Amino acid sequence: MDQRSGQDRRVVSNVWYGESLGADILAQPSGGYVSAVVSALSLLSAAGRNGIVVTSEGVARPAGIVVLALICALRRHRSLVIVEFLPGLKSGLTGRTVRFLYRRLLHRAARSIQVMTQWERSLYIDEYNLDPAAVTVVPFYFYDDSTSRTPTPDADRVGVFASGRSSCDWNLLIDAARDRPWNLTIVCSADDHDDVVRSAAGTDIVVRSEVSEEEHADMLAAASVYVIPLQDRSVSAGHVRIMSAATLETPVVVTDVRGLEGYKHLAAAVVPVGDAVALREAVDRLTNDPVTRERVRSRVRDLASANTRSMYLADIGKLLDPA
């Protein structure tokens, strides 16, 4: 692997990790294929031949990753660092094309690739023909030690909250909540909003979408219980949500999916995928038992302190110069 010294290289990025890595921050693509390609070319131009580009598939989009990998491979300089590599398994004509190009290019272009779990490391090395030495498991942090928020006392909390943009089983949660006095609020993506509203028709469930980060944190901090109802897919999911809940000390109920492997110990209860009865019973137990909620907070507080945001970013920094 090309290991040029830090003195003669420039680090550029279009993801939030860049600032902590001392990178020059460039704008993210605005959407669409052309924007992704233009953004990738801008990153490469800013980095120069000896520089390092830090991005993610979610921000750069597959088209951008392909352009970055192609040019890095042609330059014979493995200068691409991909954080939060969560491609899942590609399907359809476009997906198969992306898979083909990833298999041909990433092992020649990637300096480091971060995955969230050990099972994804094994899966993606095989699926995308990655260099095992370049793929590192760096679990997402459990506690945000940069926050200035203080947890809300249990006596000041009310209701059940659920949120998410991807891999969410909203129908499961709505079935579980039907006719229950939970005071449930769901915050979903704009794409899911109308479907969720239709599913929740005839209930007192409040459905919202696209709230700000600040308002989301307010809602999470004010809830007695937080639910993360995930579908079981071949990709990590729910890490930011369960970290946010641990930081704000809101007890969590999650579905038992592989995407949360390594994080489920932060939950108050883990229920089978698709089991509305088990989900209902778990939420009922927590909403009716403040002693258990406080015991969960104490346990999760101790666990989460072992993997903070500061520790996580220090580990991400090592991806610039992997062993």
Domain map (residue ranges) of the chain = 6-140+310-320, 154-304
The region, left, alpha or beta by phi > 0 then psi within -120 to 50, assigned to residue 270 is: beta
Does residue 149 surpass a pLDDT of 70? yes
Class of domain 154-304 as given by CATH: alpha beta
235 confidence band (pLDDT: 50, 70, 90): confident
The whole-angstrom separation of Cα 21 and Cα 56 is: 14
The architecture that CATH gives domain 6-140+310-320 is 3-Layer(aba) Sandwich (3.40)
pLDDT (0 to 100) of residue 7: 52
- As given in the structure block, the two tokens for residue 237 are 């999911």
pLDDT for 247: 97
Query: Which helix (H) or strand (E) is 163 found in, with range?
Result: strand 160-163
Q: What is the pLDDT of residue 8?
A: 66
- Residue entry with tokens 């641990």: 246
pLDDT value, residue 32 = 87
pTM for the whole structure: 0.89
